[in-house]
């Protein structure tokens, strides 16, 4: 109170026999103080995130195969709990994703990142491994596969700036019989479902679409390199993003 008296140059309250009475200056200031208190209350109320009423847009950068694995369950969960929000999936290279994240133009980046700069936090989302996918009834693939036979099979390889290169899935691509390159692993799976080509791709992705596309999925021991997908976010956050990250984690738990 003493500091307020110094600031306003007024005692603010007068002592009476039965209590205190505001001075004329205090009565003049009262409407302004009430307005400031109301603004503060509104600001505090805005910080409380209510999923059922929020119209927030959550911006996610992720490669195609990650969206294919987590996209549907995430969208379903978000729509059920926060029906007025929007999930926007974008596709950028790892470097672009981290740059956009640092600038606040996206909310989260998913994928594989060789170096995460200061100001960003990385956490493991899930781990996968490579498999070989082919159509059911493939004349040269009967559920088992050795490395020599693998190299002789005609392959369709996928490429994407937002995804790891397919070469990381095998020992040496020069030992593979390459028949085609297509943009994205989903296109590769569609191609093998209608031909005698095979595709090396993430197992979760192949298994997710195996029934719909009529695929067989083989996990040969020689495809050892793991696929580790991380979540990267800014250090600073808010209640809405913390809620969203929690829902995101549940899709792979």
Domains of the chain in start order, with CATH, are 2-47 (no CATH), 57-126+228-250 (3.40.190.10), 129-225 (3.40.190.10)
Predicted local confidence at residue 9, as pLDDT:
65
Q: Helices in the chain by DSSP H: which ranges?
A: 2-8, 24-47, 64-81, 94-102, 147-152, 185-193, 203-213, 239-250
Q: Which tokens is 92 given?
A: 């950028």
Contact at 8 Å (CB) between 251 and 178? Answer: no
Beta pairing partners, 128 = 227
Query: Which parts of the chain have pLDDT scores under 50?
Result: 45, 165-167, 169-172
Integer Cα distance of 139 and 86 in angstroms: 45
Q: Phi/psi at 124 (nearest 5 deg)?
A: -70, 135
Output the pTM of the full model: 0.74
How many CB atoms are closer than 10 A to CB 184? 19
Query: pLDDT digit string (tens) for 187-242?
Result: 999 999 999 999 999 999 999 999 999 999 999 998 888 999 999 999 988 999 99
- For residues 126 and 112, what is the distance between their CA atoms, to the nearest angstrom? 11
Sequence-separated (6 or more) residues with CB below 8 Å from residue 169: 130, 200, 201, 223, 225
Q: How many Cβ atoms from other residues are within 10 Å of residue 64's Cβ?
A: 20
CB 183 within 8 A of CB 160: yes
Question: What is the predicted pLDDT for the residue at 171?
Answer: 46
Q: Let me know: does 147 contact 153? Beta carbons within 8 Å.
A: no
């Amino acid at each position: 109170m003493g500091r307020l008296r110094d600031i306003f140059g007024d005692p603010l309250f007068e002592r009476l026999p039965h209590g205190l009475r505001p001075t004329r200056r205090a009565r003049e200031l009262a409407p302004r103080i009430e307005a400031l208190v109301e603004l503060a209350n509104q600001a505090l109320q805005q910080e409380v995130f209510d999923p059922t009423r929020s119209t927030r847009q959550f911006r996610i950068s992720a490669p195609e195969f990650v969206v294919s694995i987590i996209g549907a369950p995430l969208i379903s969960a978000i729509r059920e709990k926060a029906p007025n929000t929007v999930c926007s999936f974008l596709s950028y290279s790892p470097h672009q994703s981290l740059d956009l994240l640092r600038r606040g133009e996206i909310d989260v980046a998913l994928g594989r990142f060789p170096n995460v700069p200061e100001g960003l936090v990385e956490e493991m989302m899930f781990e996968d491994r490579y498999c070989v996918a082919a159509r059911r009834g493939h004349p040269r693939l009967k559920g088992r596969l050795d490395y020599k036979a693998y190299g002789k099979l005609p392959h369709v390889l996928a490429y994407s700036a937002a995804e790891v290169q397919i070469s990381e899935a095998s020992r040496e691509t020069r030992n593979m019989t390459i028949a085609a390159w297509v943009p994205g692993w989903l296109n590769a799976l569609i191609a093998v479902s209608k031909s005698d080509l095979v595709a090396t791709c993430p197992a979760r992705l192949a298994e997710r679409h195996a029934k719909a596309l009529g695929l067989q999925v083989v996990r040969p021991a020689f495809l050892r390199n793991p696929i580790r997908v991380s979540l990267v976010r800014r250090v600073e956050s808010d209640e809405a993003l913390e809620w969203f990250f929690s829902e995101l984690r549940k899709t792979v738990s």
